[in-house]
Structure 1
Amino acid sequence: MKNIAFKPAFAAVAATAALSACTMIPKYETPPVAVAQQFQYDRADNGIQAAALGWKDYFADPRLHRLIDIALERNTDLRAAALNAEAMREQYRISRAALLPSLGASGSGARQKSAGDLNGTGHGVISESYSVGLGVSSYELDLFGKARSNKQAALEGYFNSAAARDSAHLALVASVAKAYFNERTAEENMALAQKVLKSREETFRLSEIRHKAGVISAIDLRQQQALIEAAKAAYASAVQSREQARNALSVLINQPIPDDLPAGLPLNKQFVFDRLGAGLTSDVLLNRPDIRAAEHALKQANANIGAARAAFFPSISLTGSVGTASHELNNLFHAGNGTWAFAPTINIPIFTWGSLKASLDAAKIRKEIQVVNYEAAVQNAFRDVADALVAREQLDKTYHANSRQSTAYADQLRLVRLRYKHGVSSALDLLDAERSSYTADTALIATRLTMLENMADLYKALGGGLKRVTLDGSENAAQPQAR
């Protein structure tokens, strides 16, 4: 008979467990986004893709390595993103804890004296009471999956913040590299301006002699003097660019630039691989942390719909305790002094349909907003990659053309200067040749800087070196690779 008596209770427990395993979260499907299957200018033939490379496998300069290491340790934006991810992890753990009842222990003791007129004996009476117990307070049975939906939403919120941390990590690596390239390029422009200034000063001294001899006019002499001042102005501008690049680096690494940095490599040897393959467009979806963040935000909104749906149904809360009590402390744990209490509460929404329906509609709208945000993130990511690839393709051609142009103008300047010394070419010919040569040299340096920045941007656009965030067990996220 005892076994039969337990069957209804067992059935009730089984039914509760079955209902608790269900949620009302809509089935998630990744929104389709119309993009091409392959990138038009993906012409890398070495099979190397950014996702397989940590930043130290891609950037070759040890001086840049040191700067990136410091930035990853000290940068304020990255630290804030990492702390935000940790805060979201703890928020997920709070939501997960709501699935289990919270058990608390309590103990109390009281000793009091009552007045004789009040207790009917005419004498004051001292009474004592002691109790200890364990209790569960207002544990809500997750019959319709509200708590599980909230837990899933919190989990997706953590994934979103972890992806945002990865995005900040990747953006920081690219930003430090670009600031470093700007600093080094400015130093090259300074060296070029000094070289040109020295050459123009030598030409000016020769022209002064020819002017005194009446060979050239004062107008030609003043034009050459103007070129000298132009070279000085170019040098000052290059110094300004270098100092501003250093200021940017100081902000990125959150400290002054150290004096003990290792020597840097030449600008034409900054990368281990000079070509990165983009692969299929689906690879970008897997590797870009901003796309992962957008998708997790969409999944979070989807889970919130499940919680809003569950709010339409009754909720059952359980409060109970078990313990022992006695008027004497010595008898507290004697047989017959046990106590227990059980107080279930059911809450049935009746006149709240309007607000609950509005909450559900709002949750659905917020999901549609995240769908739009996801589509925008995908389209922007594909544009970033496509722009970087076409820029790489055309910058290669531009650089080679500028290089040939610089060589031609340098040879022209050499010949014109030689003819000028022998009185064959005019001062105007020399001025034009000097301007053309300097312009070609600065254009070549500027194009190389743009190429260096493009390679850093392409690494970032392809989600280089950052893997998909996963959980070990339930909540341990993989850290960004910084080999």
Structure 2
Amino acid sequence: MNHTNFKPVFGMLAAAVLSACTLMPKYEQPAVAVADTFKYDTAEPGIQAASLGWQDYFADPRLHSLIEIALERNTDLRQAVLNAEIYRKQYMIARNDLLPSITGTGSGSRSRTAADLSGTGNARVGEAYSVGLGVAAYELDLFGRVRSNSEAALQGYFSSAANRDAAHLTLVASVAKAYFNERYAEEAMALAQRVLKTREATYDLSKLRHKAGVISAIDLRQQEALIESAKADYENAVQSREQARNALATLINRPLPEDLPQGLPLGRQFKISRLPAGLSSEVLLNRPDVRAAEFALKQANANIGAARAAFFPSINLIGSLGTASTDFGNLFEGPNRTWSFGPSVSVPIFNWGTNKANLDVAKLRKEAQIAAYEGAVQSAFQDVSNALTAREQLDKRYNALTKQSRAYSDALRLVNLRYKHGVSSALDLLDAERSSYGADTQVLAAQLTRLENLADLYKALGGGLKRFSNDVQ
């Protein structure tokens, strides 16, 4: 077999696999001035939020079911997942530009030429057959333009995937907080009903004392006002419960199922209540919004390489290799080999100003992404610091309010006994009831705020991407 005819094609393929240089700037991670550790990180070192599955963190099986449904059906998360998939496909397209696009061709034809047109005066039948491989307009990436575009597409995909993870974390925390508000409203309803029954019982006793002339009509009317106040509080709690359920229905993108498991009370919502924050560098690794910002910065860095490469010539290769014959039986014989090779060079001449402006834009976009990255890091540390500070103060406030509630409850019990025996006045009883109910309401509200804070801290530390501790979503 004669290999001479293959030399141009071999040269084309060799050029295609030449290692091309790249004009991308060397990436350097921006230095952001943040503390190494967090103030109020009082939890003992242990498992990190990012490695703790949400079913290992939240205890309520009813909440587990709602999160499962939301992760499957939520529209915002589905959109983020689809956007990440779009970027992945775009990267695959850009990556394929690094390799020649080789197509196979084959053709066969038979035709009859009339006698008057044959030149010999005799009619004849002609045949032609050909097969081959062809490369169409493959850019020889000597200056790294295609590689830079491919790298930019890859970093764009990474950034969109990190945004998808951020949407995942936000959804888990949002479902948990909406569910906590539903449970809070239900417990507020129960509290209002208990207070209403107590006030109605006191009112019945007061009516007897009023008939006996022991208390005045003013005292009686004040107790009636407290009864109506409890009814109003109950209806307000019902409204809050329905609004929380509406929020949950929106998050799971369907009406609340009827067969959800029984929920747990507010005080038993978490399996772990003292998550450690750890070092600041760990937050950088675990926060998807910080990762998304850095990938966007790397994408802008790669775009500079593509903009720089536009100043240099681009070389495109076009060629084919095959066989052709008028006899199908001789189609693959050596003398019937065919080839073609046609490189083309495009040199920028009068578009220097446009290329310079494009490069300046690419550099400015990188500077903007540096600022965005620094902002994302600072925002991440602010989120964690605020959540840790709130956790510390909320725990102290909740403990103080709990003690206050117990004191007021005990005072109400004593005043109620004194009132029944005619020692305390109706005014004393009214004040004791208002104080006790107000303290119980404050405890319930503080409990909700603590739960929301623990959900926010879990999200701020990068928790929620894993379903179980050993099962990555």
- Report the counterpart of residue 331 of structure 2 in structure 1: 332
Q: 3-state DSSP class of the match of 2:104?
A: strand
Instruction: Give the alignment of 1:208-223 within 5 angstroms.
Output: 208-223=207-222
Instruction: Give the alignment of 1:2-401 within 5 angstroms.
Output: 19-20=19-20, 22-112=21-111, 127-401=126-400
Deviation at 1:359, TM superposition (A): 0.8
Code of the aligned partner of 2:394: L
Q: Is the 8 A contact 2:155 2:298 kept in 1?
A: yes
- Report the counterpart of residue 470 of structure 1 in structure 2: none
Deviation at 1:117, TM superposition (A): 6.2
TM-score of the pair, normalised by structure 2: 0.92
Q: 3-state DSSP class of the match of 1:336?
A: helix
Deviation at 1:116, TM superposition (A): 6.3
In 2, the alpha carbon distance for the partners of 1:46 and 1:378 equals 23
Code of the aligned partner of 2:251: L
In 2, the alpha carbon distance for the partners of 1:108 and 1:480 equals 57
Deviation at 1:294, TM superposition (A): 0.4
In 1, the alpha carbon distance for the partners of 2:33 and 2:471 equals 31
Q: 3-state DSSP class of the match of 1:32?
A: coil
Q: Is the 8 A contact 1:59 1:270 kept in 2?
A: yes
Code of the aligned partner of 1:423: G
Q: Give structure 1 stretches of 5+ with no counterpart.
A: 468-478
Code of the aligned partner of 1:357: K
Deviation at 1:215, TM superposition (A): 2.4
Code of the aligned partner of 1:144: F
In terms of mean alpha carbon deviation, does 47-56 or 8-17 score higher? 8-17
- Report the counterpart of residue 433 of structure 2 in structure 1: 434
Distance 1:42 1:250, change over 3 A: same
In 2, the alpha carbon distance for the partners of 1:368 and 1:433 equals 63
- Report the counterpart of residue 414 of structure 2 in structure 1: 415
Deviations 1:87-128 (A, max 9, x none): 211211111111111110112234445666666567766544
Code of the aligned partner of 1:262: P
In 1, the alpha carbon distance for the partners of 2:69 and 2:182 equals 17
Q: 3-state DSSP class of the match of 2:129?
A: strand
Q: Is the 8 A contact 1:384 1:461 kept in 2?
A: yes
Q: Is the 8 A contact 1:99 1:148 kept in 2?
A: yes
Q: 3-state DSSP class of the match of 1:397?
A: helix
Deviation at 1:15, TM superposition (A): 8.0
Deviation at 1:18, TM superposition (A): 5.3
Q: 3-state DSSP class of the match of 1:340?
A: strand
Code of the aligned partner of 1:462: L
- Report the counterpart of residue 473 of structure 1 in structure 2: none
Q: Give structure 2 stretches of 5+ with no counterpart.
A: none
Q: 3-state DSSP class of the match of 2:161?
A: helix
In terms of mean alpha carbon deviation, does 166-175 or 189-198 score higher? 166-175
Name the % identity.
69
Code of the aligned partner of 1:53: L
Code of the aligned partner of 1:56: Q
Distance 1:85 1:8, change over 3 A: closer
Code of the aligned partner of 1:29: E
Deviations 1:341-376 (A, max 9, x none): 111111111111111111111111111111111011
- Report the counterpart of residue 447 of structure 2 in structure 1: 448
Q: 3-state DSSP class of the match of 1:132?
A: strand
Distance 1:272 1:209, change over 3 A: same
Deviation at 1:289, TM superposition (A): 0.6
Deviation at 1:465, TM superposition (A): 5.3
Code of the aligned partner of 2:132: G
- Report the counterpart of residue 472 of structure 1 in structure 2: none
Deviation at 1:327, TM superposition (A): 3.4
Q: 3-state DSSP class of the match of 2:108?
A: strand
Code of the aligned partner of 2:136: S
- Report the counterpart of residue 458 of structure 1 in structure 2: 457
Deviations 1:388-431 (A, max 9, x none): 00000000110011101111111121122222222222222222
In 1, the alpha carbon distance for the partners of 2:373 and 2:411 equals 55
Deviation at 1:279, TM superposition (A): 1.1
Code of the aligned partner of 1:174: A
TM-score of the pair, normalised by structure 1: 0.90
In terms of mean alpha carbon deviation, does 233-242 or 206-215 score higher? 206-215
Deviation at 1:71, TM superposition (A): 1.7
In 2, the alpha carbon distance for the partners of 1:122 and 1:12 equals 46
Q: 3-state DSSP class of the match of 2:439?
A: helix
Deviation at 1:331, TM superposition (A): 4.2
